[in-house]
Every structure is written in C-alpha cells, then in structure tokens.
C-alpha cells in the first residue's frame, strides 16, 4: 500500500521557518521586557525625585510663612521709625525757620532748603570769612557773629558773575543764548585760573583788564569748534552786548587805533576799569548804574 505525500506531516523547511519565527518572537519579548524593566526603574526614580521635590516645596512654603509672619512686625517698626524721623525733621525745620527769622545764619550743610518755611520763602546763601557757606534771610545780620564777616551773598553778584559760577550743564539749562553763555565763560576765564584759556590782558593807568575784539574772536573759535571766521565775528559783537548787559554796564567799550603790516585799523576793546563796582572785587568810585561806554558795533 502506497503513502500520499499530501497527507504526510510538514516538511523540514516549514518546520525550520516556524522555529525561526518562534525564536524571533522570543527575542522580541525579551527586548520588550528589558525596555519595560528600564521604564519601571526610571518611573521609580522619578517618583523618588517627585517625593523629594514635594518635601523641599513643603519646607520652602513653611519658610515663606515664617518670613511673612516675621515681616509684619519689621514693617511696623520701620513705619514707626519713618514717622519718628519725619516728625523730628519737621521739628528741626521749624526750629531752623524760627532761628532764621530771628536773624541766625545757619551752615548750608545743616539745612534742607526745601524743608524750610520762612516768610516769602526767601533764603539766600552767603560766604563768610571762615570759608564756609551759610543760609540767612536777606539782609539779616547774625546776632552771634558766627563765621566772621560776610564775604559775598549770591544775590549780591552781578548776573554775569552768577552765570560764571555755573557748570556747563547748569549754564545750558539757565540760558539758551549762545552769546550769553560765551559771555559767562569769558568772564570765568578772567577770574578762574583753572580755566586756562584766558584772553584778558592786564591794563594800564585806569584800566584793570581788557580783552580785544580780535582776541575774543580767536577765543570763541577755540570754544566753539567748527564755526567759521565770519560767524565768529558776529558772535564777538553779540557777546560784547551780552557782557555789557549781564555786567549791568560795569564794563566799558573803547575803540583804539592799531597799525599792522603797514595798515591802520580801529579795534574795539572791552575794558574793566579800576573804579568799576564789581561785587567781591572791591568797590570802585563809580556810583552810577550805567557808566558811560563807547559806541558798540551792533
């Protein structure tokens, strides 16, 4: 009796294929189990870190609550100190105002000008023989005579002197006029050795000092870089006008004939006379407010 091949079991090739597939599935299962184990380990680690973070957060929240609880009494103490300081400041200001109204002269460094309430709000600074500056009410003499005699009060200065005492920023904020600023700067150059660039010359006879229009032109070009010679000439005339106005005509203008390279010409000079009444520089014999000056080219 013969055997039918179709009824026989699977051949060797089929069995091998099934065995290979089974082995591949086993390896895949092993890989997935390894991945799962790593994920479980990572999850355990994250849960541990989360628990630590919760514990840290709890400690921080507790610390914040402690600080907030401590802040309230500190703020209360600070508020109390601030109220006490303000009250003391008000009392000091009131006492200083009373002393000033009695004629006292108070050291500038000890006075907060904005906190002093005096009649018409009129306070002025004065310099004294001791080299220090004081506050006083205008024209009031110190009954205790502290600091010696008054050297000079700011309000006693001529406008040109007041401007000359300002720094560049304050000068620009005070006046937008370039000739006025130049007038203040050239006056400062005359009185402040630290400026260095001084076009003034020592005079003779009744003239204390003078500056020529040509020297003033060159000086202006050194101060204002980049301006033309023609514009500098115009600024000379305007600066001379400002000098006369801001000095309340304490300066004089004189025309002097000059000869250069065989040519004769007339040049203006700004003169500070020996008898000019300049605060802080001695009082001259001139008593009129507007001393006579020569003609000025406008």
110 and 140 inside one domain: yes
182 and 249 inside one domain: yes
Taking the chain, what is the end-to-end CA distance rounded to the nearest angstrom? 149
Q: How far apart are CA 192 and CA 187, in angstroms?
A: 9
78 and 40 inside one domain: yes
Which DSSP string corresponds to 38-55? HHHHHHHHHHHHHHHHHH
Is 297 part of a structural domain of the chain? Answer: no
Q: Nearest Cα to 273, choosing from 213, 201, 212, 206? A: 206
Is 285 part of a structural domain of the chain? Answer: no
**Distances in whole angstroms, Cα of residue 31 to Cα of each of 26, 36, 44, 69, 165:** 9, 9, 20, 57, 90
Q: What is the mean pLDDT of each run of 10 residues along the chain (298 residues)?
A: 53 87 90 90 89 89 82 77 79 77 77 73 71 72 55 70 86 91 92 84 90 94 92 94 93 84 81 85 43 38
For residue 153, the model assigns a pLDDT of 58
- Count the domains in the chain: 3
76 and 36 inside one domain: yes
85 and 114 inside one domain: no
Q: How far apart are CA 34 and CA 36, in angstroms?
A: 5
262 and 192 inside one domain: yes
Q: How far apart are CA 277 and CA 283, in angstroms?
A: 5
For residue 129, the model assigns a pLDDT of 67
Is 100 part of a structural domain of the chain? Answer: no
For residue 294, the model assigns a pLDDT of 39
Question: Domain range for residue 185?
Answer: 159-273
For residue 222, the model assigns a pLDDT of 93
Q: How far apart are CA 257 and CA 212, in angstroms?
A: 12
147 and 181 inside one domain: no
């Amino acid at each position: 009796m013969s055997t039918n091949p179709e009824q026989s079991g699977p051949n060797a090739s089929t069995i091998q294929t099934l065995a290979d597939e089974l082995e591949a599935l086993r390896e895949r299962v092993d890989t997935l189990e390894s991945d799962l184990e790593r994920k479980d380990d990572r999850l355990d680690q994250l849960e541990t870190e989360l628990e630590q973070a919760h514990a840290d957060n709890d400690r921080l929240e507790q610390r914040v609550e402690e600080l907030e609880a401590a802040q309230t009494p500190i703020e209360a103490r600070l508020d109390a100190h601030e109220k006490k300081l303000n009250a003391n400041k008000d009392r000091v200001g009131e006492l200083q105002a009373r002393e000033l109204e009695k004629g006292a002269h108070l050291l500038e460094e000890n006075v907060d000008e904005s906190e002093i309430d005096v009649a018409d709000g009129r306070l002025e600074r004065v310099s004294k023989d001791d080299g220090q500056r004081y506050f006083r009410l205008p024209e009031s003499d110190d009954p205790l005579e502290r600091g010696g005699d008054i050297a000079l009060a700011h309000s006693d200065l001529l406008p040109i002197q007041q401007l000359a005492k300002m720094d560049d920023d304050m000068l620009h904020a005070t006046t937008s006029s370039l000739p006025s600023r130049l007038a203040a700067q050239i006056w400062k150059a005359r009185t402040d050795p630290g400026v260095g660039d001084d076009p003034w010359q020592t005079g003779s006879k009744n003239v204390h000092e003078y500056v020529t229009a040509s020297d003033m032109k060159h000086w202006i070009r050194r101060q204002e870089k980049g301006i033309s010679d023609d514009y500098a000439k115009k600024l000379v005339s305007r600066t001379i006008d400002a000098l006369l106005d801001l000095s309340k005509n304490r300066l004089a203008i004189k025309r002097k004939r000059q000869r250069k390279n065989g040519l004769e010409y007339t040049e203006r000079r700004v003169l500070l006379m020996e008898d000019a009444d300049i605060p802080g520089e001695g009082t001259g014999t001139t008593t009129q407010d507007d001393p006579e000056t020569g003609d000025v080219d406008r």
